[in-house]
Chains A and B, each alone.
Chain A
Amino acid sequence: MNTCPRCQAAEEKIRAEHKGLNAQGELVWTIFHCNACEFTWRDSEPASTIDYNKREAFFRVDPEKPYPVIMPPAQYK
C-alpha cells in the first residue's frame, strides 16, 4: 500500500502528480503528493528519503499538530 513516507497518511490521501517517461515513452518514475502533510516525492528516490522507517525520525510530520504560521491571516482582523 502506498502511504506517505513522512506522515504515514493512508493511500486515499495520496495524489499521483506526474508520470516521468523516457524518450521511448516508457514509464520511469511517478511523482506523488500527500494531501495531509504536503510532502512530495518520486518513487525512484533513495529509501532514506521515501521509506518511512529509513527516514530520520526527526523529520516526521504530524499534520494534526500545530505548526508555525507565517504571516497568519487572522492577525489582520
Chain B
Amino acid sequence: MSTQKKPLSDKARAVGERIGSLRDFLEFLEENGQCITWTDEILPEPDVRNIAVAAGRDSMNGPAVIFNNITGYPGKKLVLGVHGSFTNLALLLGHPKGTTIKELFYDIISRWGDDKPLLDFIEPDAAPVNENRLSDNFNLYDLLPLYRINEYDGGFYIGKANVVSRDPRDPDNFGKQNVGIYRIQVQAPGEFTLLSVPAHDMGRHIMAAEQDNVPLKIAVMLGNHPAMCMFAATPVGYDESEFSYASQMMGSPLRLTKSNNGMDILADSEMVIEAELMNGVRSFEGPFGEFPGSYSGVRKIPRFKVTAISHRNDPIFENIYIGRGWTEHDTLIGLNTSAPIYAQLTKDFPEVVAVNALYQHGLTGIISVKNRFAGFAKSVAMRALGTPHGTMYLKNLIMVDDDVDPFDLNEVMWALSTRTRAEDTIVIPNMPMIPIDPAAEIAGKGHRLIIDATSFMPPDKLGSDSKIVTPPAGPEIDEIAKLIQLLQNGGQS
C-alpha cells in the first residue's frame, strides 16, 4: 500500500543517513535540546514512573530522558520518552522544532509504503548487537534495569520491544515475518509472557505453531532504530514487511542481520533476546496499565523461554510510560495509526483531506472531508468503520469539513459548535470493540458514535442563510504564525 510519493528534502535525507540506531538518535536529540540525562540517584519505583509522567506532559516538546543512576542498577542505562513528543518525531523526519502535527501527518503520508524498501544485510559477526553474546544463565532482572510501570501492574514489563516472528507455515516468506510491539512481562530470570491475540499477526503465528506442534522461535529486539518502533506498532498488511516500511520512511537503508535462531533483526539494536514459545503453557499475566488509561485484567497467556541474548557494550534499555493519556504511546503510534486509514479512505473517496486518529490508538478519530452533498460525510464515516483498523478501534468519529484542521482541536470544537445538529449523530449499537476498552458493554462489544459536524449541503435547507466568516488562512498565514513564535522566543526556534 502506498500513497502519493514526494522526494525527501535534503535535510530529511541527511538525517536519515545519520541515524542508524537508537544511540545515533539520542545524540541527535541531545544536540537539539530534546534529550536530558537524569543523574540524581533514583529508586526504580516510584521514581522512574513519576519522572516519566512529568516529562511526558508536554506532548509537543517533551524530551527523552536517560536515567543512569538507578538504585541497585549501577552502570545500567534506561531511556524513556524517545518518541514522547511530536518535536522528537519532527527531528527524526528532518524537520525543525515548531513543525505542526498536520505538517508531520502530510510528510508521513508522502513517505508511506513498502514498495521501495532499502535494506542492507550484514554478517552477524559484524553486527554491533552481537558484541556480547550469552548462551546460558540468563537473568533479565540483572541485564535490564526493570521496574514496575504502573503501581498495580502484575510485574515488571518490557513495553517497547519490537518482536520478530516468522509464520511457522511459511517460514521463508520475508513479508509474512512480523515485527510487532507486544507487552512482555518478565516471569522468571529467563522466562516471560507475551500478550498477543488471534487478531494480531503474532497471534496467528502462536496458534499455527501450537496447532502443528512445531517450535515458534522469536527475536525480541530492544533499543531499536526509532523508525522501527513506529512501524512495529503500525497495522500494515499481513504479508507486508515492517522493515520495508521503516526503511522507506527514513529514505536510507536499515541494516539487518540474522539472529542465531533464524530471524531477520536490526544489526544496530541495543539487545536481542532470542526465545522459544513453551507450547501449550499459559501463565497468569497482568494487570497492566494500558493505552485506554485503564488496567487490563489478569489473564492466562502464552509463555516463552529465553534461548540466547546478544547485546551491545553498555546496552541502553529503552522502555515506555503507558497509561492514562497523554503518554508516549499516543505520540509513538498516533500518526502511523492515522496514515493507513487515510490511505485506505482516499482510494474510494479522494475528498478525504486528513485523518486524525491520535487519541488512544484511534478510539476517537476526526476526519476532514470535502462534503459533496448532504449526508456524504456520514457515508465516508461508514467506510472508515470498515477499514482494518476501524473495524476494532474507531469508536467515536467526528466528521469535519475540509476547511477544518482535524489536528487543531479549537477548530474541531468550532465545527461541533456551529455545524452539528443533534440529528447528525448516529449510534450504531453492538459493534465489535477492542476488549480493553473500559467503555465496552461487554469486553469486545459496544456501540459506535458518528458525529457529522460538516456544514449543510443541498438538498439541506438548514443554515442556508448563514455565511461563514473566512479569516485569512493557508501557507502564508502559517508562515506568519511561525515567525511570531520565533520573534517571541527571541529569534530561537
Query: Which A residues touch B44, using CB under 8 A?
Result: 29, 42, 44
**Nearest B residue to A63 by beta-carbon distance?**
B284
- State A44–B147 Cα separation when bound (angstroms): 11
Judged by a CB distance under 8 angstroms, whether B203 is at the interface is yes
Taking a contact as CB atoms under 8 Å apart, the answer to whether B71 and A29 are in contact is yes
B156-A40 in contact (CB<8A): yes
Q: Are B188 and A33 in contact (CB under 8 A)?
A: yes
Residue of B72, B203, B211 touching A28 (CB-CB under 8 A): B72
Could you say which residues of chain B place their CB within 8 Å of the CB of A49?
45, 148, 151-152
Interface status of A23 (Cβ within 8 A of chain B): yes
Point out the residues of chain A lying under 8 angstroms from B283, CB to CB.
Answer: 38
**B51 near A: Cβ within 8 Å?**
no
Contact surface of A with B, Cβ cutoff 8 Å: 6, 17-18, 20-23, 28-29, 31, 33, 37-42, 44-46, 48-49, 55-56, 59, 61, 63, 67-73, 76
Given A22-B74, A40-B155; A68-B299 close (CB under 8 Å): yes
Q: Are A20 and B73 in contact (CB under 8 A)?
A: yes
Other 7 A-B pairs with CB < 8 A, given A17-B188, A38-B283: A20-B72, A28-B71, A40-B185, A67-B298, A67-B300, A70-B301, A71-B207
Known contacts A23-B74, A73-B210, A73-B282, A17 near B301 by CB under 8 Å? no
**B142 is an interface residue with CB less than 8 A from chain A:** yes
Neighbour of A18 across the interface among B74, B139, B280, B299, CB < 8 A = B139
Q: Are B152 and A18 in contact (CB-based, < 8 A)?
A: no
Complex interface: chain B residues within 8 A of A6 (CB): 154
Q: How far is the CA of A33 from the CA of B188 in the complex (A)?
A: 8
Q: Is B206 an interface residue (CB 8 A)?
A: yes
Q: Contacts A18-B189, A71-B302, A76-B211: A56 and B152 contacting too (C-beta < 8 A)?
A: yes
Which residues in chain B, 29-76, are within 8 Å of chain A measured between CB atoms?
A: 43-46, 71-75
Please measure, in the bound complex, the distance between the C-alpha atom of A42 and the C-alpha atom of B152, giving whole angstroms.
13
- Using Cβ atoms and an 8 Å threshold, which residues of chain B touch A63? 284
A20–B46 Cα distance when bound, in Å, is 16
User: CB distance B284 to A48 under 8 Å?
Assistant: no
A38 to B283, CA, bound (A): 8
Provide the residues of chain A in CB contact with B72, threshold 8 Å: 20-22, 28-29, 44
CB<8 Å pairs between A and B, sample of 25: A6-B154, A18-B141, A18-B142, A21-B74, A22-B71, A33-B155, A33-B187, A37-B284, A38-B155, A38-B187, A40-B155, A40-B156, A41-B148, A42-B147, A44-B71, A44-B72, A49-B151, A49-B152, A59-B287, A68-B297, A69-B301, A70-B301, A71-B210, A71-B302, A76-B210
Given A69-B300, A70-B197, A76-B210, A46:B188 Cβ within 8 A: no
Interface size on B, residues (CB 8 A): 47
How far is it, in angstroms, between the C-alpha of A42 and the C-alpha of B45 when the chains are bound? 9
> Distance (Å) between the CB of B352 and the closest chain A CB?
36
Bound together, the chains give a CA A49 to CA B154 distance in angstroms of: 10
Interface residues of B in 191-207 (CB under 8 A from A): 195-198, 203, 206-207
Q: Is the CB of B299 within 8 A of A69?
A: yes
Q: Which residues of A contact B198 (CB under 8 A)?
A: 71
Distance in Å from the Cβ of B215 to the closest Cβ of chain A?
15
A-B complex: 7 closest residue pairs judged by Cβ atoms: A20-B72, A40-B155, A18-B141, A38-B284, A23-B74, A70-B301, A73-B280
CA distance A68 to B196 in the complex (A): 14
Chain A residues within 8 Å of B203, by CB? 71
**Is residue B285 contacting chain A, with contact meaning CB distance below 8 A?**
yes
Asked whether B26 is an interface residue with its Cβ less than 8 Å from the other chain, the reply is no
**B45 and A61 contacting across the interface, CB-CB below 8 Å:** no
Provide the residues of chain B in CB contact with A38, threshold 8 Å: 154-155, 187, 283-285
A28 contacts which chain B residues (CB < 8 A)?
A: 71-72
Shortest Cβ distance from A28 into B: residue: B72
Are the CB atoms of A44 and B141 closer together than 8 Å? no
By beta carbon, the residue of chain B nearest A72 is B282
Is the CB–CB distance between B46 and A46 below 8 Å?
A: yes
Whole-angstrom distance between the alpha carbons of A18 and B43 in the complex?
A: 16
Contact between chains at A48 and B71 (CB < 8 Å): no
B186 touches A (CB below 8 Å): yes
B41, closest chain A residue (CB): A22
Given contacts A18-B189, A42-B44, contact A67 B151 (CB under 8 A): no
Query: Which residues of A have CB within 8 Å of B211?
Result: 76
Q: In the bound complex, what is the Cα–Cα distance between A39 and B288 (angstroms)?
A: 12
Docked pose: A44 CA to B45 CA in angstroms? 8
Beta-carbon contacts under 8 Å, B118-166 to A = 139, 141-142, 147-148, 151-152, 154-156
